[in-house]
């Protein structure tokens, strides 16, 4: 089992598409370049923001291969597993390991409201099918399945289950996890508008969404918090908040793609059944983005800040 450093900022990457409904690999590379320049610590391919439910496994591999060829050697790439069946999830986990992925993000079974025993069996099957490090995704708000403390207790023997993307929106869970398990599980905040609070409470990393449009600001907040400069981080965070709240809307994909378009590192094209924004909704979201761009703060030299991890 390989080691993985779960500390830092991990963008849940958008999947840009061409107008002919193919992955836009040129824009994908443009965004990757911006993420690298901003100092992110790894990337996640095929998450919810990446429109995972609309991607074929061959397209996921195409994105993986493109990223692997573009990024520096050994730069961490995480593949998301969001499948309907256990067999499909275990197969993709094995495939991702064969591709050379560094880790997995694992959602509970999709579309079926599994009970605790079924969810545990699903996680255990995937963990057994791969030696890759795994980050579970705890998001009962969107996926209706909570990964409880008791479930994490049952998963302790599975050493490659190493981390959790904590998106329950209950920040008390961070302290509960640390009190119960110490540092056995790394904790990454997965809700942009709760990120600073979660990092202060002890989260090791940030699986971020608005980083797809504003990578430097995202990494700056993380490094400032982790170096103890909360005041400077909070100033950026308060400016960022109207944008960060785009991450918790059902149309977060369209909203964040619009933001990435406005910063020149994305396009607004989505894959059906999603449709482009229009009318008042488009104008309202664009107004939020334009106001933020007009008041964008000057960042400190955060790349040279040492984060106490």
Here the CATH number for the domain that contains residue 236 is 3.20.20.70
What is the pLDDT, as a whole number, of residue 142?
A: 75
Tokens representing 162 are 């190493």
pLDDT at 117: 94
pTM of the model: 0.96
What does the pLDDT read at residue 222? 98
What is the pLDDT at residue 76? 98
Q: Is residue 97 part of a domain?
A: yes
Quick check: is 221 in a domain? yes
How many C-alpha atoms does 120 have within 13 Å on its Cβ side? 14
Q: What is the pLDDT of residue 273?
A: 96
What is the chain's pLDDT, residue by residue, as a tens digit (309 residues)?
668 999 999 999 999 999 999 999 999 999 999 999 999 999 999 999 999 999 999 999 999 999 999 999 999 999 999 999 999 999 999 999 999 999 999 999 877 777 999 999 999 999 999 999 999 999 877 778 889 999 999 999 999 999 999 989 999 999 999 999 999 999 999 999 999 999 999 999 999 999 999 999 999 999 999 999 999 999 999 999 999 999 999 999 999 999 999 999 999 999 999 999 999 999 999 999 999 999 999 999 999 987 665
Does 3 fall in a domain?
A: no
In-domain check, residue 282: yes
Q: What is the pLDDT of residue 308?
A: 60
Is 232 a member of any domain? Answer: yes
Please report whether residue 36 resides in a domain. Answer: yes
Total of domains in the chain: 1
The pLDDT score that the predictor gives to residue 257 is 98
Compute the distance between CA of residue 92 and CA of residue 106 in angstroms, rounded to an integer.
Answer: 11
| pLDDT at residue 307, as a whole number | 61
Domain with 41 in it: 8-304
HSE value, Cβ hemisphere, 13 Å, CA-based, for 238: 5
pLDDT value at residue 113: 79
Residue 252 lies inside a defined structural domain of this protein: yes
| Residue 137, H or E segment | strand 134-138
**Inside any domain, residue 1:** no
Looking at residue 298, its pLDDT comes to 96
Predicted pLDDT of residue 114: 78
String of b and e for 184-221 (b: at least 16 CB within 10 Å)? ebbbbbbbbbbbbebbebebbbbbbbbbbbbbbbbbbb
Residue 79 φ/ψ region, left for φ over 0, alpha for ψ in the -120 to 50 degree band, beta for the rest: beta
Output the pLDDT for position 296.
98
């Amino acid at each position: 089992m390989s080691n993985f450093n779960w500390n830092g900022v991990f963008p849940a990457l958008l999947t840009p598409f061409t107008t002919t409904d193919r992955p836009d690999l040129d824009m994908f590379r443009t965004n990757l370049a911006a993420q690298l320049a901003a100092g992110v610590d790894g990337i996640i391919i095929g998450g919810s923001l990446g429109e995972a439910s609309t991607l074929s496994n061959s397209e996921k591999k195409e994105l993986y291969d493109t990223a692997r060829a573009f990024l520096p050697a050994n730069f961490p790439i995480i593949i998301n597993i969001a499948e309907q069946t256990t067999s499909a999830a275990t197969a993709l986990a094995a495939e991702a390991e064969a591709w050379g992925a560094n880790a997995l993000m694992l959602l509970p079974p999709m579309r079926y409201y599994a009970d605790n025993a079924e969810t545990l069996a699903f996680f255990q099957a995937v963990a057994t099918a791969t030696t890759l490090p795994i980050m579970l995704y705890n998001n009962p708000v969107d996926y209706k399945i909570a990964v409880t403390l008791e479930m994490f207790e049952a998963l302790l023997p599975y050493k490659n289950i190493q981390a959790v993307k904590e998106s329950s929106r209950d920040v008390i869970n961070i302290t509960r996890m640390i009190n119960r398990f110490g540092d056995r599980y790394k904790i990454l905040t997965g809700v942009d508008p709760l990120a600073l609070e979660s990092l202060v409470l002890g989260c090791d990393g940030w699986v971020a969404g608005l980083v797809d449009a504003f990578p430097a600001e995202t990494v700056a907040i993380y490094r400032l918090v982790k170096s103890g400069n909360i005041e400077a981080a909070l100033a950026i965070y308060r400016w960022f908040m109207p944008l960060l709240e785009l991450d918790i809307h059902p149309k977060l994909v369209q909203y964040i793609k619009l933001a990435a378009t406005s910063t020149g590192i994305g396009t607004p094209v989505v894959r059906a059944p999603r449709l482009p924004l229009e009318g008042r909704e488009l104008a309202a979201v664009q107004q939020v983005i334009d106001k933020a761009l007009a008041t964008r703060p000057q960042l400190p030299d955060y790349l040279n800040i040492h984060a106490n991890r």
